[in-house]
Chains A and B, each alone.
Chain A
Amino acid sequence: MVWQLLLDELPFENLRSNSVVEKILVPVDGSKVMERNVRFACDIVKALGGAMTLIHVVVLPASMEPGVPIDPTPLEQAGARILEAAQKVAEDSGCKTEGILETDFGNAGHRIVRVAQEKGFTLIVIGARGGSKIVNMLLGSVCHTVAYNATCPVLIVRP
């Protein structure tokens, strides 16, 4: 049919390849390697263009006593400091960033994936692992969750 022919003519692949990196989401965790990951992400933004957003997910622990909720305020304050530190690193590398602070239970990865999907990010740049040297070869749990569940491309950075 005519419609079919028209559709075939449209350069879908080209459209797609033009939007390679536009909105970049960079999860930060306050670990030792965070600084390097953020700098790496800044270099990517400088090399490829695009806007960078940092995200930190405050993970609330399960309450020890049933019925007694944990006060999230101190944890959220600590999270805000981590985000601030990361934004400072990015600024020092010459990148303007936005920060997103989220609070959730369980694995931070699921929240990261959801935010990326909802806000239409086109790339997630994430460190392979927070800190531990022994298992440096393997992926950390958050990275693992993001790598498997994200709906957009994921760039795994190695320390």
Chain B
Amino acid sequence: MWVQKMFQKVLVPIDGSPITAGLVAYAIGFAKKAGCSLTFLYVVDGPQTVPAAEAEKQKAANMRIPEESREKAATEGVSSTSRVEPGKPAETIICMADREKFDLIILGSRGYSRLKRLIVGSVADKVMEHAPCPVLIFR
């Protein structure tokens, strides 16, 4: 039945902030019910030109964030992959969802105040306005 396969590939961008634990738990619960696979994406923003020795260390450190989530999903019996991509978070998330045809993006929102949102904007804002697929905002 196609209904069962409504969501197959779900993208879960995470950033290691306090909301991540809750978001990952929610996404795992969602995946259990929907029978979908999860992709935990950590986008590394910032300069990518660092000494080679440093780069290796940093890469390992960056990988740990989505990898922890993947392990957590695995213990719950949910299939998932972990990815680390360099770039601007919002653009990277939107482009990846578009290119790899994700069915859903589950996003965490930190809930900035109106004023702060106006000044800094947020990744969640950009993703929900420009995403090519449905977006689930977790609170």
Q: Which residues of A contact B (CB under 8 A)?
A: 13-14, 16-21, 40, 43-44, 46-49, 137-139, 147-148, 150-158
Contact B26 A153 (CB under 8 A): yes
> Which parts of B1-43 form the interface with A (CB within 8 Å)?
3-4, 6-7, 21-22, 25-26, 28-30, 32-34
**Complex CA distance for A16 and B23, rounded to whole angstroms:** 10
Asked if B29 and A18 sit within 8 Å, CB to CB, the answer is: yes
Q: Which residue of A lies closest to B108 (CB)?
A: A153
* Measured CA separation A21–B6 after assembly (Å): 15
For the complex, give the distance between the alpha carbons of A139 and B29 in Å: 27
Asked if B139 and A49 sit within 8 Å, CB to CB, the answer is: no
With a cutoff of 8 Å between Cβ atoms, the chain A residues found around residue B129 in the complex are 137-139
- The one of B4, B25, B132, B136 in contact with A155, judged by C-beta atoms closer than 8 angstroms, is B136
Interface residues of B, Cβ cutoff 8 Å to A: 3-4, 6-7, 21-22, 25-26, 28-30, 32-34, 117, 128-139
Residues from chain A with a CB closer than 8 A to the CB of B25 are 13-14, 16-17
Is chain B's binding surface mostly helix, strand, loop or mixed?
helix
Pull 27 A–B residue pairs with CB atoms less than 8 Å apart, ordered by A.
A13-B21, A13-B25, A14-B25, A16-B22, A16-B25, A19-B29, A20-B29, A40-B134, A43-B3, A44-B6, A47-B33, A47-B34, A48-B34, A49-B33, A137-B130, A147-B137, A148-B117, A153-B26, A153-B136, A153-B137, A154-B136, A154-B139, A155-B135, A155-B136, A156-B135, A158-B132, A158-B133
Contact A43 to B6, CB < 8 A, known contacts A150-B139, A158-B131:
yes
Q: Which residues of B contact A155 (CB under 8 A)?
A: 134-137
Contact A153 B29 (CB under 8 A): no
Instruction: Decide: A20 and B30 in contact? CB cutoff 8 A.
Output: yes
Which residues of A sit under 8 angstroms from B132, Cβ to Cβ? 158
Contact between A47 and B3, CB atoms less than 8 A apart: yes
Report the minimum CB–CB distance from A122 to chain B (whole Å).
11
Give Cα A127–Cα B25 distance, bound, in whole angstroms: 25
Task: List the A side residues contacting B3 at CB < 8 Å.
Answer: 43, 46-47
CA–CA, A120 and B25, complex, Å:
20
Contacts A16-B22, A46-B3, A47-B34 given: A157-B134 contact, CB under 8 Å?
Answer: yes
Task: Report whether B33 and A21 are in contact in the complex, using a CB–CB cutoff of 8 Å.
Answer: yes
Chain A residues lying within 8 Å of B6, measured Cβ to Cβ, are: 43-44, 47
Q: B96: shortest Cβ distance to chain A, in Å?
A: 17
Among the listed A17, A40, A44, which residue makes an inter-chain contact with B29, where contact means beta carbons less than 8 Å apart? A17
